A and B are shown apart, each in its own frame.
Chain A
């Protein structure tokens, strides 16, 4: 079945690193994604990782993938107030759809 799990809340101090964790179920997912949703806004694609990769770095973002444990994480270095948002992990259980987690609300405190 398709069930993407994420912790619901994360509070982090400005300047620290944030780590958001996700577990997924579909081992056939070709890509795994992280989306960001700011209040009242749509889903912004942050980054994605191909399933045969272990790690992908993109500026302040680092994605780690453990296929054996079906575990995906997003690390945000030097977290800023503008990083406060809901972060969604998503898998692609088929060619034509994404299956999302419930989202992790990240709050950055000064």
Chain B
């Protein structure tokens, strides 16, 4: 069964450093998403991406964040200058239409 994959599973970085989180969505899907879950809190929407552009983004997704689909398979989330409060689990998701979203296993980001 096709699934969304994410790498790395755990990323540790120093405050102020740039990180890139990688995702490989399900191959025939056209819509891509990033969410985050701070420990013990709700899963929060960050951004959606379709047809090579951002469809919607939340207030959390400020200028420090960017997304890219650099080739036909990868979908990345870049945080330009990480802050302590960016520590969270980051989930990538994809869907074939703008409905049922399938999630990856997540990347745990720890900012020290």
Q: A: which residues have CB within 8 A of B?
A: 30-31, 33, 35, 41-45, 48, 88, 92, 94-103
Contact = CB atoms under 8 A, between A and B. Distances in A.
Considering the complex of A and B, which 3 residue pairs feature the smallest CB-CB distances, nearest first?
A96-B48, A42-B105, A43-B103
Interface in B33-53: 33, 35, 41-45, 48, 50
B101 interface: yes
B91 A43 contact: yes
Chain B contact-residue range equals 20 to 34
Contact of B103 (A30, A44, A99, A103): A44
Contacts, number: 52
B99 interface: yes
13 contacts: A30-B99, A31-B100, A43-B91, A43-B93, A45-B101, A45-B102, A45-B103, A88-B43, A97-B56, A98-B35, A99-B45, A100-B43, A101-B42
B25 interface: no
